[in-house]
C-alpha cells in the first residue's frame, strides 16, 4: 500500500524526490556516528566534527559563499534564519525603523513571503512578466530606501532561470538592500553557476532535496545557510570551526542571531549529504545538473500539448522541473488537474505537484529528477497522454477519471473534512457502527 522512490517515479515538483542512494543510508547510520551524544566532550567526537566542518566547506564552495551554518532544520527555517540575519544587519546599521520591506516575486516558493513576514518584514510582491521572469521594470519601481532585501527562488517555480539576476542584484544593492537566494532545489545549477558569484549575500540549500535524504511526509531535513563574509558573524550558533588542536563548536559569534535548533542540527541528514557529495565529486555534481535538466525537458517534449499546455512557452529550456496547465482538459472535457492527478494513482504511479505555482491555472508541476532512466520517463509520458486522451474521447473513461482513485486502498478523500478539527481523526481507532 506504500509508495516511495524505490517503487517508481516520484515527480513531485519543487520537492526533488530523487533516488536516495542506499550507500548514504548505510553510512549515515554508522553506529559510531549516530550513537554520539550531543553532550559528549569535543575531543571524543573529532571525527564527526571533521565531517561537519568539511561539509560546511563543501557547501560554501558549491554556493560561492564565505561561511556556512549547518544548524537550520529545513529550507523554510533556513529562510527564516536568512531573514533574521538581514534584520540584525539592518539594525546594526541603524536602519531598522526605515528599512522594512522585502521584495518577493509572485513566482517565489510560498515559504519566502512567510519567512519574511515572520521576521517582521512587509512583503512587497513583484509580478512576473510574460516570459515568466521577474519583471525588471517593476523591481525598479518597487526598490527604494525602504528595501531590506529581495528573496529570489532560482530556478523559479516555473522551472526557469532568472535571466536578469545580475541587474536585479545591482538594483537592490544600490538601494542598500541584501539579496537572498532560495537554493532549495539546486539540482539544475550544480557546478554551473554559484549564488555568491551572482551577487547574492545569503543562500540556503535544502540538502535533503539536492543532496538526497528520504524526506517524504514532511521530514527530516536540513537547510544550511551560507553568507558572504560581512554577514559571517551573524550566523546562528554553534558553528563548526577548526583550530590547531582540532575541531570545535563555536558559541561565541559576535553578532549571532542565536540558536535556532536544539543541539547541532539534523546530523543524520547532514551525514547523508556529506556521503552523497563526496561520492559524486565535482564532476558527478555537474553531471547531476546536466541530467536533471535533460530529464525534465525530455519528459516535457513528449506531453500532448492539446491536453497539457505550456505557459510561458517561449521561455526554454526548463531547468530541473516544468509546469504545464491542464486548462485545455478542463475546457474540452470538464476534467480538472486534481482528477488527472488522482487517476495517475490508479495507474500505479505517483502524481506530480498540483495547483502550484499559483500563477498558473490548473497547474501540474513535474520534477522527474536526474535519477530516472529514459524508460521511466517514456512510461510516465504515456500514462499522462493516455489519461488525457481517455478524458477527451471516452465518456465512460472520463467518469472513471473524475471518480479516481478507484484502485487504491482509500478512495477519494474529502480534503475539506480531512483538515477540519471537528472531524480530523489523527490516530487509529475502531469506528463504532452507527
Ligand X SMILES: *Cc1c(COP(=O)(O)O)cnc(C)c1O
- Which residues here bind ligand X, judged by CB under 6 A? 14, 74-76, 109, 111, 153, 182, 184-185, 206, 221, 223
Cα separation of 416 and 213, whole Å?
31
Where does 244-317 show beta strands of DSSP type E? Answer: 246-250
CB of 73 to ligand X, least distance (A): 8
* CB of 214 or CB of 346, closer to ligand X: 214
Q: Based on CB atoms, which residue is closest to ligand X, 182 or 201?
A: 182
Smallest gap, in angstroms, from Cβ of residue 185 to ligand X?
A: 5
d(CA 283, CA 277): 10
Instruction: For cell 495517475, name the residue.
Output: 344
213 touches 207 (CB < 8 A) = yes
H or E stretch including 209?
Answer: helix 207-210
Residue nearer to ligand X on the CB measure, 75 or 177: 75
Position with the least CB separation from ligand X = 75
Q: Give the whole-angstrom CA distance, residue 44 versus residue 302.
A: 55
Nearer to ligand X, 147 or 185 (CB): 185
**Residue owning grid cell 545580475:** 166
Burial class of residue 192, CB neighbours in 10 A (0-12, 13-18, 19+): middle
Task: Report the nearest approach of ligand X to the CB of residue 248 (Å).
Answer: 28
Q: Which is nearer to ligand X, 74 or 178 (CB)?
A: 74
Output the smallest distance, CB 276 to ligand X, in A: 16
Using DSSP's 3-state secondary structure scheme, residue 92 falls into helix
Shortest separation between residue 434's beta carbon and ligand X, angstroms: 39
Listed in order, strand segments (DSSP E) in 38-121 are: 67-69, 101-105
Q: How far apart are the first and last CA of the chain?
A: 28
Identify which of residues 74 and 257 has a Cβ nearer to ligand X in the complex: 74
Rounded least distance, CB 264 to ligand X, Å: 18
Amino acid at each position: 500500500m506504500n509508495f516511495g522512490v524505490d517503487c517508481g517515479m516520484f515527480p513531485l515538483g519543487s520537492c526533488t524526490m530523487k533516488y536516495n542512494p542506499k550507500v548514504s543510508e548505510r553510512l549515515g547510520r554508522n553506529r559510531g556516528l549516530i550513537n554520539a551524544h550531543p553532550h559528549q566532550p569535543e575531543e571524543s567526537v573529532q571525527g564527526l566534527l571533521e565531517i561537519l566542518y568539511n561539509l560546511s566547506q563543501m557547501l560554501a564552495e558549491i554556493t560561492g559563499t564565505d561561511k556556512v551554518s549547518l544548524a537550520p532544520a529545513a529550507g523554510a527555517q533556513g529562510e527564516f534564519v536568512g531573514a533574521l540575519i538581514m534584520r540584525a544587519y539592518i539594525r546594526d546599521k541603524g536602519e531598522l525603523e526605515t528599512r522594512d520591506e522585502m521584495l518577493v516575486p509572485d513566482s517565489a516558493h510560498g515559504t519566502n513571503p512567510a519567512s519574511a513576514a515572520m521576521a517582521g518584514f512587509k512583503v512587497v510582491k513583484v509580478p512576473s512578466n510574460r516570459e515568466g521572469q521577474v519583471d525588471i521594470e517593476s523591481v525598479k519601481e518597487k526598490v527604494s530606501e525602504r528595501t531590506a532585501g529581495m528573496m529570489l527562488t532560482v530556478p523559479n517555480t516555473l522551472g526557469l532561470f532568472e535571466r536578469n539576476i545580475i541587474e536585479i542584484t545591482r538594483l537592490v544593492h544600490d538601494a542598500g538592500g541584501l539579496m537572498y537566494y532560495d537554493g532549495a532545489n539546486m539540482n539544475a545549477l550544480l557546478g554551473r553557476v554559484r549564488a555568491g558569484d551572482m551577487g547574492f549575500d545569503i543562500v540556503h540549500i535544502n540538502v535533503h532535496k539536492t543532496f538526497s535524504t528520504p524526506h517524504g511526509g514532511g521530514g527530516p531535513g536540513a537547510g544550511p545557510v551560507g553568507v558572504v563574509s560581512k554577514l559571517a558573524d551573524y550566523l546562528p550558533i554553534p558553528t563548526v570551526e577548526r583550530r590547531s588542536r582540532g575541531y570545535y563548536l563555536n558559541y561565541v559569534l559576535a553578532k549571532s542571531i542565536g540558536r535556532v535548533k536544539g543541539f547541532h542540527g539534523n546530523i543524520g541528514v547532514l551525514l547523508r549529504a556529506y556521503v552523497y557529495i563526496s561520492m559524486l565529486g565535482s564532476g558527478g555534481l555537474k553531471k547531476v545538473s546536466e541530467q536533471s535538466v535533460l530529464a525534465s525537458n525530455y519528459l516535457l517534449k513528449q506531453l500532448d500539448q492539446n491536453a497539457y499546455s505550456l505557459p510561458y512557452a517561449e521561455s526554454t529550456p526548463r531547468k530541473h522541473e516544468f509546469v504545464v496547465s491542464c486548462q485545455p482538459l478542463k475546457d474540452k472535457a470538464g476534467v480538472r488537474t486534481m482528477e488527472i492527478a488522482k487517476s495517475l494513482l490508479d495507474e500505479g504511479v505517483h502524481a506530480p505537484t498540483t495547483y502550484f505555482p499559483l500563477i498558473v491555472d490548473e497547474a501540474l508541476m513535474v520534477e522527474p529528477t536526474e535519477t530516472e532512466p529514459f524508460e521511466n520517463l517514456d512510461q510516465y509520458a504515456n500514462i499522462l497522454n493516455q489519461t488525457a486522451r481517455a478524458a477527451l474521447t471516452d465518456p465512460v473513461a472520463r467518469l472513471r477519471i473524475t471518480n479516481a482513485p478507484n484502485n487504491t486502498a482509500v478512495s477519494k478523500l474529502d480534503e475539506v473534512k480531512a483538515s477540519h478539527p471537528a472531524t480530523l481523526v489523527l490516530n487509529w481507532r475502531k469506528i463504532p457502527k452507527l
